[in-house]
Amino acid sequence: DTEVTQTPKHLVMGMTNKKSLKCEQHMGHRAMYWYKQKAKKPPELMFVYSYEKLSINESVPSRFSPECPNSSLLNLHLHALQPEDSALYLCASSQVRDLGTDEQFFGPGTRLTVL
């Protein structure tokens, strides 16, 4: 199984809502990533988990809260978002290498719209 799954595919939420994005992989990867991608822009790294521990937080606002409950699952909890947070949220996973970042497998993404 070389697939990363993400749910939901689409999400519309108001600025006062609380919602969560989910990501799952069963490739035995121990590194998992959250990216944000705006239209016609590259994916922008938000968070990296390595062995279920948060290893990178790229100065992301606290209204985004990641969680890695086990080695196969990654969540992104959303609260009090702003309209400018509307974007495609991509999850990825990879092997953990001793040297640098390995090949990342991306999920199809969640298209988030904040009203």
Partner 1 sequence: QQPVQSPQAVILREGEDAVINCSSSKALYSVHWYRQKHGEAPVFLMILLKGGEQKGHEKISASFNEKKQQSSLYLTASQLSYSGTYFCGTERDNYGQNFVFGPGTRLSVLP
29 vs 24: CA distance, rounded Å? 10
Choice between 94 and 114, CB closer to partner 1: 94
Task: Tell me the per-residue interface mask from 5 to 44 with partner 1, x by CB under 8 A, - otherwise.
Answer: --------------------------x--------xxxxx
The answer to the question of residue 108 lying near partner 1 (CB under 8 A) is: yes
Site for partner 1 in 71-100 (CB under 8 A): 90, 96-100
Cβ contacts of 78 within 8 Å, gap of 6 or more:
13, 17, 18, 19, 20, 21, 63, 64, 65, 85, 112
Binding site for partner 1 (CB under 8 A): 4, 31, 40-45, 48, 50, 55-56, 90, 96-109
